[in-house]
């Protein structure tokens, strides 16, 4: 059996390792998009880096490499590749499973403002604060460079710097860091930069959750971008262990 994991996440790496251990006779390939320099690699199976060339390219790869099962373990906001995976799996007649970590849930003391997009997040900021901790990644920075944000100051955190020529907010300080982050570290970021509003995507998971607790402690409003939906008809599991159980149970035809 050949399993292709669309990865690049903590869960994707863990899944590759579990599959490699639980089904040692299976061939496991993890595919990483290559958008992050020096990506963390899984400890089991083969790895390929780079895109497929859209739906047609992924469909051809599935057929040419005899893939028996496709698992989408990409970031919850990697909407394009998730929909490409659904179309390619259907075209190649390959079972598809989506692994999605649960989203965050507000608790007592949180001041969350949920929005549908980065553009909507940018529009909400002027009424919420002036010093923004922006944790939505480098690819969405241009969404905050439009009219209405000129008076705001941004601390933009990402793993890698934005591509040359990317429009940035007028007053931006880049903070290049890779998670996981600690609560004490996030407290210090908010304090030292005098942050009064946080912007995040609902990525879920523990690695970047401490910023939410730090914001709650300081009474800082949080603008939360809702995650896009999983394509219709795709089975979803919440964690790597559940994905391995689904494969072992044979319900996916692999």
Residue boundaries of the structural domains of the chain:
2-102+228-248, 112-225
Please state which of the ranges 49-58, 114-123, 202-211 shows the lowest mean pLDDT.
202-211
Query: Distance between the two ends of the chain, CA-based, in angstroms?
Result: 7
CA atoms within 13 A on the CB side of 81: 23
Helix axes 10-22, 240-248, angle to 10 degrees: 40
Burial category of 88 from C-beta neighbours within 10 Å (exposed 0-12, middle 13-18, buried 19 and up): buried
Percentage, residues of the chain above pLDDT 70: 97
**Contacts with 184 (C-beta within 8 Å, 6 or more apart), sequence order:** none
Please tell me the pTM assigned to this model: 0.84
Nearest to 94 by CA among 2, 230, 231, 232: 2
Averaged pLDDT, 171-178: 94
Give the three-class secondary structure for 154.
strand
Contact 73, 9 (CB under 8 A): yes
CATH topology identical between 2-102+228-248 and 112-225? yes
A 10 A CB-CB count for 114 gives 14
Whether the predicted pLDDT of 127 surpasses 80: yes
Residue 134's beta-bridge partner residues?
A: 156, 199
The CATH class of 2-102+228-248 is alpha beta
The CATH class of 112-225 is alpha beta
pLDDT reported for residue 45: 87
Q: How far is CA 41 from CA 6, 122, 147, in A?
A: 12, 34, 40
Give the three-class secondary structure for 147.
coil
- Give 251's pLDDT tier (boundaries 50, 70, 90): low
Whether the predicted pLDDT of 126 surpasses 80: yes
- Give 37's pLDDT tier (boundaries 50, 70, 90): low
- Distance CA(51)–CA(247), nearest Å, equals 25
């Amino acid at each position: 059996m050949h399993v292709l994991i669309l990865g690049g996440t903590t869960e994707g790496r863990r899944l590759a390792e579990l599959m490699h251990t639980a089904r040692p006779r299976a061939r496991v390939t993890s595919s990483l998009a290559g958008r992050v320099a020096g990506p963390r690699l899984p400890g089991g199976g083969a790895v390929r880096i780079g895109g497929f060339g859209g739906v047609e390219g992924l469909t051809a790869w599935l057929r040419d490499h005899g893939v028996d099962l496709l698992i989408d373990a990409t970031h919850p906001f990697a909407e394009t590749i998730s929909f490409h995976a659904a179309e390619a799996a259907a075209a190649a007649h390959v079972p598809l499973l989506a692994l999605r970590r649960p989203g965050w849930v507000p608790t007592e003391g949180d001041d969350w403002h949920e929005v549908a997009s980065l553009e909507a997040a940018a529009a909400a900021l002027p009424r919420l604060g002036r010093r923004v901790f922006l944790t939505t990644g480098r690819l969405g920075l241009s969404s905050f460079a439009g009219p209405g944000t000129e008076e705001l100051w941004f601390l933009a955190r990402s793993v890698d710097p934005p591509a040359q020529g990317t429009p940035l907010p007028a007053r931006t300080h880049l903070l290049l860091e890779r998670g996981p982050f600690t609560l004490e570290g996030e407290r210090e970021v908010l304090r030292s930069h005098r942050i009064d509003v946080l912007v995040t995507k609902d990525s879920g998971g523990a690695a970047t959750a401490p910023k939410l607790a730090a914001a709650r402690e300081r009474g800082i409003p949080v603008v939360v971008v809702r995650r896009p939906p999983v394509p219709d008809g795709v089975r979803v599991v919440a964690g790597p262990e559940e994905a391995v159980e689904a494969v072992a149970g044979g319900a996916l035809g692999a």
